[in-house]
Structure 1
Amino acid sequence: MARKTSWEWSRTAQTRKSMLRAAREVFSEHGFADSNVSEVVARAGSSVGSLYHHFGGKTELFLALYEDHQAAHEQAASSSVASARKSGVDDPVELLIAGARAYLAGAWERRDLVRLFMDGDGPPGFELIRRTRGREWVRQNAVLLGAGADPLDRFTVAALTSVIGEAAREVATSDTEDEATEVVEAAMKLIRRLDPLRVLEEG
């Protein structure tokens, strides 16, 4: 079997990107259940056969869009934390806040997707995938904060993660960027006020 040329790989990547962009529009407008692949491929300027070749079907397309969205969140948060560390920040709470700010900036930039994945419908099994991803997010935050395994530590980190998640929902439903910024600042203030390091140390 002949290897694909760089041009063919580029075209494949562009086709995938076009389909995901079209899927984002269609799913955001209609939700998962009321969307159909024919509208996606029409907007992408492609074919139903090509969509099934690249993704396998509507469910897989939805999940690929979700994974790309989450990967963008994680990349932005990780880069922000790394940048804060490089600039000399070593307070775990401030590192958490740096990551949260990047996460919430992405929530505004991709607010249509946040609304879709948080409050819209999805394919069978999506809720489990979302919960699993949420538990992994809590685990990552626990590592960042140096939390232990006892119930108070776990609950503290879960509560902080929930604050960020709810802030993302509020950001995504804000009418203006200024309103979204106010939500972000309120969330950061709440995280500092909760003083998670003190709770973890006392626990």
Structure 2
Amino acid sequence: MKVDSEYILDVEGLPLTNPSQIARMVPKRRNQHIAGRLCLIDLLQRQGLNPLSGELNLTSDGLRFSDGESDITVSIAHSESLAVAVLFDGGKRIGIDCEPQNRDISEGALQEFCTPQEIRSLVASDSSVRLHHWMVKEAVGKATGEGMSASRRIHVASTEATLDGIRYSVHSIPETILNHRVVIAILHSDS
């Protein structure tokens, strides 16, 4: 979903949101957050679920939508101009990240979220490799519910990543969406 910061989106009556939390956000961030929720609501409805009858909970298995009958793993990502969501109706952990394809991951960001060995390798790499590495860490962090606090423990390869010995399959969407790259991480079935 394209995020438009020109207009203030209305949160009244929108399921799966916390109006008091949203009220504290600056307008740009608020619209990004709401757009992500709108993507998730659309996905849930396409699965025949009623977003009004459930709630979102952040667990050690990531973000989950529960409505008493269904317990579905979901993930939401947004940037300044794009919001995306993904769900998995099979109990597996799933995470998603989207970033502008021209985003430059600074050495300062690498220092904060990567190991010294990763930093040495990534500083010598081109910007698309750094961006992919960053996005995989974001997606796996969301899949676990730990976010970027787990980033130094996430080890990235091109099509998989591990966190504390647990493997995640990494899927990069080959086409850009509104000049953004999208990465999805799913708990590997053999883990």
Q: So what's the TM-score if we normalise by structure 1? A: 0.26
Report which of the two has the higher share of helix: 1
Q: So what's the TM-score if we normalise by structure 2? A: 0.27
Flag the structure with larger Rg: 1
